């Protein structure tokens, strides 16, 4: 029996269990386990037999598998607007270093805030590894208060789980803690602060973890991670308000609001995987894709058996979960992908105005323009096009909607991005707007067409 083996645990009364078994009893147990394979299974083995997790490596305590390498063992994930955390290998262990610290973060051009992040950014860099890898993650705390890191969804020893006070002491200011565990699963997981959670997550202390299978049945051509979060940045404030509970005004994919979200560029026919995570404080996000449909293939609990996968064009990603979807990029074009909650696809200034839809502002305009020659009441006919007007904005604010598009202004903000599917992607750089084949763009109906089809106006 190996030193450190689980079966060597002590009973409350005294001697280790193994010491109380006779040699004959132990031999009988071993023989039965070998013959039947059903006795003396660890809980992890039981879960593995049920197909809920990958089988733990039988010799994980003695031998670390060869660390997985990008390209050779997996197709590296793409983190739009983000980066992957570098590692180096020491004695077969992948060594990572996260630094929790105050950062300067740009939600979109014109809106810069002081947030808290890892290694200079929010979300922190994506941690990427392979099932069976042993990880050693150093966490240095440069925040003004203690912190800790929880590895969300990772199956690991209790003392590595990161809940301050429960699993470990908080990491003091300026201290560096070491986490170490072997990955015995694959999937889309996350990491986030687990000390003063409400404040530390509201200020940005979060990131994604991607664990690739050791022997994948198939690889996607492109593999993306998008982490959703929500923020309250009052106009003119220099940092997010972590006390906000309901009225969030910036909804982000990987820390950015549209138009700052980087488009996902896809070659026609590619097999694509997108891993959505949600570490918003309060909001679930129904993520909707246009022009395509996908299958939900995994959650943060693991893979969904193929027979149980279901097709969707909108996938709800609840708070504190991941949802992995796969599809074939079979429809060329520029396709919106966004949270379907309408307040989650507009920015800061759009949430708290007075409702003027249907009001007649002409009397007010006449009076006010005597004092302010440029005065004009807005919003009485709706709020479309407001971002386009290029009004001067207060410091610490961005336009409530949008960015320039190929057919005018795109009246969207917040948790909105674009999938660009092309027959030929440019090498490096962004694909230009899609050129629709002639006759395939919605346009004003002609009088002849209306007459032909019996549409009376
Ligand atoms: Cu949403």
Peptide bond connecting 259 to the previous residue in cis, omega within 30 degrees of 0? yes
Taking 50 as the threshold, does the pLDDT of residue 166 lie above it? yes
| Residue finishing a domain among 300, 331, 362 | 331
Q: What confidence score (pLDDT) does residue 264 get?
A: 97
Residue 24: is its pLDDT beyond 60?
A: no
Domain count, the chain: 2
The alpha carbon of 101 and the centre of ligand 1 are apart by a number of angstroms equal to 27
CA distances to 26, 133, 189, 300, 316 from 320, rounded to whole Å, are 44, 24, 10, 9, 12
Distance from residue 283's CA to the centre of ligand 1 (Å): 6
- Domain housing 255: 88-331
**How many angstroms is it from 247 CA to the middle of ligand 1?**
13
Whether residues 179 and 33 fall in one domain: no
Same domain, 44 and 92: no
The reply to whether 178 and 43 lie within a common domain is no
Looking at the domain assignment, is residue 353 inside a domain? no
User: Does residue 1 carry a pLDDT above 80?
Assistant: no
- Beta pairing, strands 206-212 & 127-130: parallel
Largest Cα–Cα separation, the chain: 103
Gap from CA of 108 to ligand 1 centroid (Å) = 18
Asked if residue 403 is part of any domain, the answer here is: no
Containing 200, the helix (H) or strand (E) segment is: helix 197-202
Ligand 1 centroid vs 278 CA: distance in angstroms?
Answer: 9
Mean pLDDT across the stretch 126-131?
A: 98
Going from the Cα of 224 to the center of ligand 1, the distance in angstroms, rounded, reads 19
- Residues 109 and 241 both lie in one domain: yes
Q: Same domain for 278 and 190? A: yes
Ligand 1 centroid–CA 258 distance in Å is 13
In a domain, 366, yes or no: no
Are residues 213 and 321 located together in one domain of the fold? yes
Indicate if 303 and 195 belong to the same structural domain.
yes
Q: How far is the CA of 416 from the centre of ligand 1 (A)?
A: 10
101 and 178, same domain (yes or no) = yes
Per-residue pLDDT, 7: 33
Higher pLDDT, 398 or 163: 163
Question: Taking 80 as the threshold, does the pLDDT of residue 190 lie above it?
Answer: yes
Q: What is the pLDDT of residue 218?
A: 87
- Tell me, in angstroms, the distance from the centre of ligand 1 to residue 339's CA: 4
Identify whether residues 46 and 95 lie together within a single domain. Answer: no
Asked whether residue 42 falls in the same domain as residue 155, the answer is no
Q: Which of 48-57, 242-251, 268-277 has the lowest mean pLDDT?
A: 48-57
Classify residue 373: in a domain, yes or no.
no
Q: What's residue 388's pLDDT?
A: 62
Q: Which CATH number belongs to the domain containing residue 156 in this structure?
A: 2.60.40.420
The whole-chain average pLDDT of the chain stands at 85
- The answer to whether residue 229 scores a pLDDT higher than 80 is yes
Distance 332 CA to ligand 1 centre (A): 26
- Pairing assessment for the beta strands 408-410 and 403-405 based on DSSP bridges: antiparallel
Identify the H or E element spanning 36: helix 23-36
Average pLDDT over residues 390-397: 70
Both 190 and 294 in one domain: the answer is yes
Overall average pLDDT of the 346-366 stretch:
75
Percent of all residues in the chain with a pLDDT value above 90, rounded to a whole number = 68
- For residue 64, being part of any structural domain is answered with no
Between 35-49, 156-170, 440-454, the lowest mean confidence (pLDDT) is in 35-49
Any domain includes 236: yes
Concatenating the DSSP letter of every residue in 243-279 gives T-SS---EEEETTB-BTSSPPEEEETT-EEEEEEEE-
43 and 132 inside one domain: no
Q: Quote the pLDDT of residue 95.
A: 98
User: Mean pLDDT throughout 385-402?
Assistant: 68
């Amino acid at each position: 029996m190996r030193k450190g083996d689980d079966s060597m645990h002590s009973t409350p009364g005294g001697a280790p269990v193994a010491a109380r078994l006779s040699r004959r009893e132990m031999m009988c147990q071993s023989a039965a386990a070998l013959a039947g394979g059903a006795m003396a299974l660890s809980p992890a083995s039981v879960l593995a037999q049920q197909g809920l997790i990958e089988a733990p490596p039988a010799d994980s305590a003695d031998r670390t598998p060869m660390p997985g390498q990008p390209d050779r063992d997996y197709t590296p994930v793409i983190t739009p607007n983000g980066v992957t955390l570098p590692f180096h290998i020491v004695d077969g262990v992948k060594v990572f270093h996260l630094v929790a610290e105050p950062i300067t973060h740009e939600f979109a051009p014109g809106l810069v805030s002081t947030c808290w992040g890892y290694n200079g950014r929010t979300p922190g860099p994506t941690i990427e590894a392979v099932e069976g890898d042993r990880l050693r993650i150093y966490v240095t705390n440069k925040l003004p208060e203690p912190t800790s890191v929880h590895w969300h969804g990772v199956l690991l020893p209790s003392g590595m789980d990161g809940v301050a006070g429960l699993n470990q002491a908080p990491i003091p200011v300026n201290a560096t803690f070491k986490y170490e565990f072997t990955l015995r699963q694959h999937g889309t997981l996350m990491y986030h602060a687990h000390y003063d959670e409400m404040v530390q997550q509201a200020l940005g202390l979060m990131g994604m973890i991607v664990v690739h299978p050791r022997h994948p049945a198939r690889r996607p051509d492109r593999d993306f991670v998008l982490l959703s979060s929500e923020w309250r940045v009052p106009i003119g404030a220099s940092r997010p308000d972590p006390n906000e509970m309901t009225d969030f005004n910036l909804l982000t994919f990987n820390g950015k609001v549209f138009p700052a979200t980087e488009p996902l560029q896809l070659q026609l026919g590619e097999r694509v995987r997108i891993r959505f995570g949600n570490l918003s404080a309060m909001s679930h996000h129904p993520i909707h894709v246009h022009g395509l449909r996908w299958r939900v293939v995994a959650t943060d609990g693991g893979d969904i058996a193929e027979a149980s996968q279901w097709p969707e064009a909108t996938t709800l990603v609840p708070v504190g979960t991941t949802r992995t979807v796969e599809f074939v990029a079979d429809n060329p074009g520029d396709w919106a992908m966004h949270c379907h909650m309408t307040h989650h696809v507009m920015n800061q200034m759009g949430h708290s105005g007075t409702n003027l839809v249907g009001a007649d502002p002409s009397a007010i305009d006449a009076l006010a323009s005597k004092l302010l020659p440029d005065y004009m009441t807005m919003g009485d006919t709706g709020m479309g096009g407001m971002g386009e007007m290029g009004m001067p904005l207060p410091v610490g604010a961005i336009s409530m909607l949008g960015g320039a598009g190929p057919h005018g202004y795109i009246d969207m903000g917040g948790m909105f991005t674009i999938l660009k599917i092309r027959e030929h992607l440019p090498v490096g750089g962004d694909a230009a707007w899609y050129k629709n084949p002639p006759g395939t763009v919605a346009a004003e109906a002609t009088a002849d067409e209306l007459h032909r089809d019996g549409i009376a106006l």
